[in-house]
Amino acid sequence: MSDDDDNIEMDDENVLAAEYTLGLLSAEESQAFEELLSIDPGFRQRYAFWAEGFAGLTDDIAPVEPPADLKDRILAELFPDKTLSRADPLATADSEPRPSFLQRLGLFPAVAGGLLAALVVLGVVDLMIDDAPTPATYVAEVAAEDQSLVVMASYAADSATLTVDRQAGAAAAGRSLELWLIPPGDGQAPISLGVLPQETAAAIQILADLVPSLDQGTLAISDEPEGGSPGDAPTGDILATGAITAA
Amino acid sequence: MTTTDQIEGYILDMAQGDRGAFEKLYAATSAKLFGVSLRVLGNRAEAEDAVQEAFIKIWRNADRFTANGFSPMTWLITVTRNHAIDRLRARKAPTQDIDEAYDLADAAPGPEAQAITAADRARIVDCMSGLEEQKADAVRRAYLEGDTYQDLAEAYGIPLNTIRTWLRRSLLKLRECLSQ
């Protein structure tokens, strides 16, 4: 290795790309690295180099046939119009009626029927629905009645990230605060979004199939054993709730 | 056995909205990707969820594939591995999300990055064996078990800065070997 400044810089860039690929960088560092990726082909090449190299670590992992219904679940999520049966119990999360393309256009059903048929023939309905803009942001103030726990949450569609900022309150000693999404409508089961960290701020990625449930849904925070609820549902007291509104 | 070219062809067809191509890609790669997910997560239900997320992302981002400079299997494995690592880390704390980090990158890289081929992939095994056992193990843990520097420091009982320094040195050594 040379002491030449250029080489040292090159080494740093290569190491940074490797750390990014492995996931060793902090959120801030990753973000900074992505800015470099977006402007510098050299970084893109370094990233592809490492992704390729590390993927080789999976070469000795034997294939395992997934269960037959996994494919159905994936197809049902990707192409909901083709599949009526939903095997996935979480399907309620994304089966909320979302305004159809035609509803958004403000067309009446009678008119819509003919147009819809034409669009289906052209095979464009799915593309148009997929491309339809989703609301840019949602916000919620998740607060206890006595304000002993207040968490501001905002969802950014472009990054599919829910940013939470705990402004008051904290988990009790040896306990955790867990964040839940309750889809709109009666009797919807809460879906865990994860345990809030000790830090006051956190960014939580929202899976695409949960996004429709944000619209007019509710966020709630429960008191749970350290590390979060052992099951799929809250086990402790609901400490705070807040309605999600489009921003 | 499906060839790299066939897999690439499926992805390109998927970018045009070809569902049949998606089903072929699934048939050709789901067992490998489920194997990888299972290796990372060690739990079938979670591994299934991670593979589901990965395939959905693969379908949605198929049109960006040609621009990202990855060979087809590397892209599929990277997306799957990242979703699996996210789930693994979410078990501990929901703060660090590696998959999100890759979104921009998936969109960003250009064709100039296309210098790497799948043949380079096989070299990693050779090159890892050139590292000290513990260092190769640390790289493997980061990639397959989602270990952070903090996790590695705890696992080996070595101060954080020390582990950072020696892992970075190992990565440079690895790069030198992979580039040969």
Ranges of each domain in chain A:
1-132, 138-246
Distance CA B35, CA B86 (A): 16
Strand boundaries in A183-243, DSSP class E: 191-195, 201-205, 218-225, 238-243
CB < 8 Å from A in window 16-75 of B: 17, 19, 22-23, 26, 30-32, 34-36, 38-39, 44, 48, 51-53, 55-56, 59-60, 68-71, 73-75
- State the complex-level ipTM: 0.86
CB neighbours of B16 closer than 8 A, spacing ≥ 6?
none
Instruction: Say whether pTM exceeds 0.90.
Output: no
Percent of chain B exceeding pLDDT 90 equals 67
CB–CB contact B100 A1 (8 Å): no
CATH T-level assignment (fold) for domain A138-246: Immunoglobulin-like (2.60.40)
Query: pLDDT digit string (tens) for A115-172?
Result: 444 444 433 333 333 333 334 578 888 988 888 898 988 887 777 778 888 888 888 8
Q: Which of B56, B105, B148 lies nearest to residue A78, judging by beta carbons?
A: B56
Residue with tokens 């509803």: A103
Q: Which of B44, B74, B140 lies nearest to residue A51, judging by beta carbons?
A: B74
Nearest to A50 by CA among B171, B84, B41: B171
> Helix, strand, or coil here: A156?
strand
CB < 8 Å from B in window 85-114 of A: none
pLDDT category at A102 given cuts 50, 70, 90 is very low
Q: Which residue has the higher pLDDT, B147 or B91?
A: B147
**A101 pLDDT exceeds 70?**
no
A11 CB neighbours in chain B (<8 A) are 172
Q: Which residue has the higher pLDDT, B140 or A107?
A: B140
Q: Which residues pair with A143 in a beta bridge?
A: A150, A241
Alpha helices, H only, chain A: 5-22, 27-39, 41-55, 68-78, 101-105, 109-122, 125-131, 211-214
